[in-house]
């Protein structure tokens, strides 16, 4: 068998994943804490205040990485759902289900910090801006997925229905990304991910990147913990069914 295919099937085994993923957790937590400490220091003590926004610009160091992660986690869910629907990968459905609450949390942080920034800058907590509205739709997609995956007595039916929703919801991701280019919005155009390179000063860009990496480590760590929890819960359900039948 092809080594890549063999590795794909091996890592897809819930017992194998549960056994070996535990070794990663302490290291992932340690790297996350170090990156968070460095990112917070750079964001709140090293980066300069903005000449227009003042100290409120520091909200950006939580707002922007959480927005990036909200999109990344949903894309991860959609890919996992596609793998589950096409190849019936044993861990794919579990991974998508485990990722959904984390992504919803990042989306809530994004919306909340955006409102905290918008009040002093725009004079209001909320406007029906294209990007804000599409981010709110993303939160509803997360909540819809969570509700749907738990709505059936048969877990496989829940996974299938929620997986289809995750794939349909992917169309919202480019809307979020390009809304500032397609419509006249209050949000500024992209200043980090640009074809001609970032348009912000390195003293501001560096803490953004470090905080984004810290958020990414947090997601991976909590995702592994949640997958392990789902595997353990499945084992308990199977034991209960065996005892009930026996």
Q: Check residue 192 and give its pLDDT.
A: 59
Share of the chain above pLDDT 90, in %: 58
Each residue's pLDDT tens digit, 163-184: 999 999 999 999 998 887 777 7
* Residue 29 resides in a domain: no
Number of domains in the chain: 1
Give yes or no for a contact between 60 and 47, defined as CB atoms under 8 angstroms apart. no
Give yes or no for a contact between 211 and 65, defined as CB atoms under 8 angstroms apart. yes
* Residue 27 resides in a domain: no
Each residue's pLDDT tens digit, 41-56: 999 998 888 777 778 8
Each residue's pLDDT tens digit, 141-151: 999 999 999 99
* Residue 179 resides in a domain: yes
Q: Which two tokens stand for residue 14?
A: 């819930």
* Residue 90 resides in a domain: yes
Q: Check residue 195 and give its pLDDT.
A: 45
* Residue 52 resides in a domain: no
Mean pLDDT of 222-239: 91
Q: Check residue 122 and give its pLDDT.
A: 81
Mean pLDDT of 217-241: 91
Closest by alpha carbon to 35, among 218, 211, 206? 211
Alpha-carbon span 182 to 170, nearest angstrom: 18
Counting other chains too, the contacts that 187-194 makes at CB distance below 8 Å and 24 or more residues apart are: 187/129, 187/130, 187/131, 187/132, 192/64
Residue 5 pLDDT class (50, 70, 90 cuts): low
Range of the domain at 130: 62-206+220-237
* Residue 109 resides in a domain: yes
Q: Check residue 120 and give its pLDDT.
A: 84
| Helical axes 60-87 vs 155-169, angle rounded to 10° | 120
Each residue's pLDDT tens digit, 53-84: 778 889 999 999 999 999 999 999 999 999 99
Closest by alpha carbon to 69, among 125, 113, 129? 113
* Residue 212 resides in a domain: no
**pTM reported for the whole predicted model:** 0.91
């Amino acid at each position: 068998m092809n080594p890549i295919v063999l590795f794909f099937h091996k890592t897809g085994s819930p017992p194998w994943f549960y056994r070996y993923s535990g070794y990663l957790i302490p290291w992932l937590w340690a790297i996350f804490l170090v990156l968070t400490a460095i990112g917070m220091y750079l964001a709140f003590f090293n980066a300069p205040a903005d000449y227009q926004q003042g100290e409120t610009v520091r909200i950006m160091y939580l707002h922007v990485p959480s927005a990036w992660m909200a999109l990344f986690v949903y894309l991860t869910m959609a890919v996992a759902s596609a793998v589950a629907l096409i190849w019936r990968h044993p861990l794919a459905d579990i991974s998508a289900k485990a990722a959904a609450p984390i992504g919803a949390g990042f989306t809530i942080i994004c919306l909340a910090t955006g409102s905290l920034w918008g009040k002093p800058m725009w004079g209001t907590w909320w406007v029906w801006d294209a990007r804000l509205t599409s981010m709110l739709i993303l939160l509803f997609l997360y909540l819809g997925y969570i509700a749907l995956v738990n709505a059936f007595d048969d877990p496989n039916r829940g996974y299938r229905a929620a997986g289809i929703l995750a794939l349909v919801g992917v169309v919202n991701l480019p809307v979020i990304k390009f809304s500032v280019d397609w419509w006249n919005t209050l949000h500024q155009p992209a200043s980090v991910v640009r074809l001609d390179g970032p348009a912000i000063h390195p003293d501001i860009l560096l803490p953004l990147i470090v905080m984004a990496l810290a958020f990414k480590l947090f997601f991976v760590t909590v995702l592994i913990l949640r997958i392990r929890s789902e595997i353990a819960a499945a084992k308990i359900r199977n034991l209960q069914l065996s005892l009930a039948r026996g």
